[in-house]
Amino acid sequence: MNVTIYHNPGCSKSRKTLELIESRGVKPRIVEYLENPPAPDTLLGLAEMLGVPLAGLLRTSEADFQESAEPVPVDDGQALSKWLHEHPRVLQRPIVVDEDRARAVIGRPPENVLELISK
């Protein structure tokens, strides 16, 4: 199984999701997205795999979103993907991708990942 987790080690939900994946014998590729923000095209692909608009990946309660100096382009996928690349703290976390099947889930709650790695 070829799995990637977009992980924030400072987030308890992200740590628990990673723990669940590893406890099932899966060794995921770990992308610490705060240090290595996904490219705009990758963000658009993640939203597509999740079946949500890109705006569905925003954590609107984050200060980076609420205090943004420029308006957040929530209705323009291309512009939003660039904005989100520059403000990765606002990205939902963790996002886990089954690369082989081009499917993804958000690990909130962490048990969401079980539907992805159990099949």
Q: Give the active site residues.
A: 11
Cα(105)–Cα(35) distance, integer angstroms:
21
Contact 99, 6 (CB under 8 A): no
Cα(102)–Cα(49) distance, integer angstroms:
6
Q: Residue 30's closest CA among 5, 13, 2?
A: 5
Residue type, 56: G
Cα(114)–Cα(3) distance, integer angstroms:
12
3-state secondary structure of 32: strand
